[in-house]
Chain A
Amino acid sequence: MDLSQINPVLLVASLMVAATPLLLAAIGELVVEKAGVLNLGVEGMMIVGAITGFAISVETGSPWLGFLASAIGGALLSLLFVLLTQVALANQVASGLALTLFGLGLSALLGQGYVGIKPPGMAELDIPVLSDLPVVGPILFGHDPILYLGIALTAAVWAVLKYTRVGLILRAVGENHDAAHALGYKVVRIRILAILFGGACAGLGGAYISLIRVPQWTEGMTAGVGWIALALVVFASWKPWRVLLGAYLFGGVTVVQLNLQAAGVAIPVEYLAMSPYIITILMLVILSADKSRAPASLGRIFHASH
């Protein structure tokens, strides 16, 4: 075992990369849940985003178009969730599961011709002096643009929810849909938009895995990240900045675990690979005692009789 091989600067830099898919998916789901909808289909939307993003980048040669396509792909899949839960008033838990099962199958079908291909890379940020700084450079100024988009999105979601009228309406719909309806807000329309936003974010997160983090396509490659994102929203108590913190924590666990595998620690690889999931469970246990932060209408079906 040789722990001295592990470079702390690279560790932090790769932690941020590992955290970004989680962050993107979780921040989208946060908005969805703030609107009072529980979409358990994050994993399905991520994997569909991963393959649409991958396929479009390979076909067009542009990672930017790939990311755009992944957001559209994720949103399109979430449209199915909209049809089920907002139009057909189906149970949200079951519909979310259906979305994940369907998404996993669909992505495997779409991805058949793309196994073993390398996608076009995305240039990392290169600001003359700043990116070359010793420790700060690789950590703060040496990443791909989507990573910064994730952070910017977190800030934007926080600001919109906290300071704007739109955010207030969204929260009102999530807290008490009957009251919001009585005030004349279009509950269903607002929820549909939130779900589509969540789908687009999850799609982006998926594409980040297949285009930047890994980068290649394999079936089921999201490996539960979508589910961890759902857990993240719960233990962030529906607060954007805590989602960021949680995502980096998980990125950290993943990266340290991978580094330990590479350094040849005496613990078998399989047990190290279990750790992110076990830590998710532990975090859920520690932080789920307080449920008071959950939007009050979360997961309830809204049907306006008048």
Chain B
Amino acid sequence: MIVLEKRPQPSQAWSYATPVVAVLATMVFGGLLFAAMGKDPVEAIRTIFWEPLFGEFAFYYRPQLLVKGAPLVLIAIGLSLGFRAGIWNIGAEGQYIVGAICGAGVGLAFYPHEAWFIFPLMVIAGAFGGWIWAMIPAVLKVRFGTNEILVSLMLVYVAEQLLASMSLGLLKNPEGFGFPGSRNLQSYDSAHNAELITGTGMHWGVVAAFVAVIFSYVLLKRHMLGFHIRLTGEAPRAARFAGVNPARLILFCLGTSGALAGLAGLFEVSGPSGVVSIDFNVGYGFTAIIVAFLGRLHPVGILLAGGLMALTYIGGEIAQSQLGLPAAAIQVFQGMLLFFLLALDLLTNYRIRAARKEVA
């Protein structure tokens, strides 16, 4: 008979070890999955994790790591603040879309005027777009006690329709021969989020992601608000007695995560993607949830987790072209990672012991 014994304090060692063990377990089970699909498992895992970093074409893939990792880290940092306090924003995908639409809209409004202030204005508009989209569930929760999980998620579908409407209507390229999608911001210098150093993948979004990590670290470690966030998550009753204002916390956490997701959308639409189109969003908002948990809701952890997740995206694409591994297999792989992570967290909070059979 095996019993679980609650640890008086979560184990430090296990809290560092679980993400690593989870990644290893995912590699093993992912490998089994790939083998079941008739692919060489070792080759597949090697392609996903090794090829982008040290393979023959690594010079091309390494910059991609920053390009894919930045939006994931940016969104996940925002989400982690709320997750720590038990405030569940799972609609980051929608906030990402609306941020991109607002930012691109501001940029396109100035077309073809060239000026230094256009890009900063777009950044503000992008953050604002994401913020306002996240404020909908926040205000509804504070005012009416509405469940923020469901509202923020519903708004993803609304945002997707809005995106379709924008790329077919208001923001459609007037010189696009009737094809859906906006003008390409990459060919509009004042609005282009270009690489800061050519060939590195380093753009403003990557800078913003690093800044967000640092700010979030300082906030959680050194600031009263960060302490309140942690307190609310770990001991809600104590937080209430300590005078934490829950409404303020909800507005702050959802608002911040929305603004960061909006920023991620803006940097993506003005840089790597370039156009507002129907298929602009690729699920960063949802993958960021995995990133946040994989990073144990800790800023530095999220930075590492974002890098790892970006690696699976890029490696997945390579595996797709070289081994014919379907894109959905990578999605399953990423989902599996979250499973193992949550399951193994048991070891952080509980001790597993063999017990003598007790008499009832």
Q: B-contacting residues of A (Cβ < 8 Å)?
A: 40, 80, 83-84, 88-91, 93-95, 97-98, 101-106, 108-109, 112, 219, 223-224, 227-228, 230-231, 234, 268, 270-271, 273-274, 277-278, 280-281, 284-285, 288-289, 291, 303, 305
Contacts and interface: CB of A to CB of B under 8 A. Distances in A.
A28 B150 CA distance: 18
B150 A280 contact: yes
B224 interface: no
A105 to B, nearest CB: 3
Interface size class, chain B: 35 or more
B329 interface: yes
A53 to B, nearest CB: 18
A108 B328 contact: yes
A98 B30 CA distance: 16
B345 interface: yes
A138 B342 CA distance: 49
B161 A271 contact: yes
B328 to A, nearest CB: 4
A105 B334 contact: yes
Q: Which of A83, A95, A97, A285 has the most CB of B within 10 A?
A: A97
A104 B331 CA distance: 8
A112 B328 contact: yes
A291 B5 CA distance: 33
B350 A281 contact: no
Nearest to A102: B335
Interface stretch (B55-63, B102-110, B286-294): B286-294
B308 interface: no
A230 B157 CA distance: 15
B146 A224 contact: no
Given A270-B161, A273-B161, A281-B154, A83 B343 contact: yes
A234 B339 contact: no
A98 B289 CA distance: 9
Say what secondary structure dominates the interface of chain B.
helix
Top 3 closest A-B pairs, CB basis? A105-B331, A102-B335, A108-B328
Contacts of B327: 108
Contacts of A270: 161-162, 164-165, 168
Contacts of B194: none
14 contacts: A83-B343, A89-B346, A89-B350, A97-B90, A101-B334, A101-B338, A109-B332, A224-B157, A228-B154, A274-B157, A280-B150, A281-B155, A284-B147, A291-B145
Contacts of A268: 165, 169
Interface of B: 4-6, 88, 90, 136, 140, 144-147, 149-151, 153-158, 161-162, 164-165, 168-169, 286, 289-290, 293, 326-336, 338-339, 342-346, 349-350
Nearest to B286: A101
Say what secondary structure dominates the interface of chain A.
helix
A178 B206 CA distance: 49
A284 B326 contact: no
Contact of A108 (B157, B331, B345): B331
Contacts of A90: 342-343, 345-346
A106 B335 contact: yes
Given A234-B150, A270-B165, A303 B4 contact: yes
Contact of A234 (B6, B147, B162, B349): B147
Nearest to A104: B331
Given A224-B156, A281-B146, A305-B5, 19 more contacts: A84-B343, A88-B346, A89-B4, A93-B88, A93-B149, A101-B335, A105-B330, A105-B332, A109-B331, A224-B154, A231-B150, A231-B154, A268-B169, A277-B154, A281-B150, A284-B151, A285-B146, A291-B145, A303-B4
Contact of A105 (B147, B335, B343): B335
Nearest to B349: A89
A91 B233 CA distance: 12
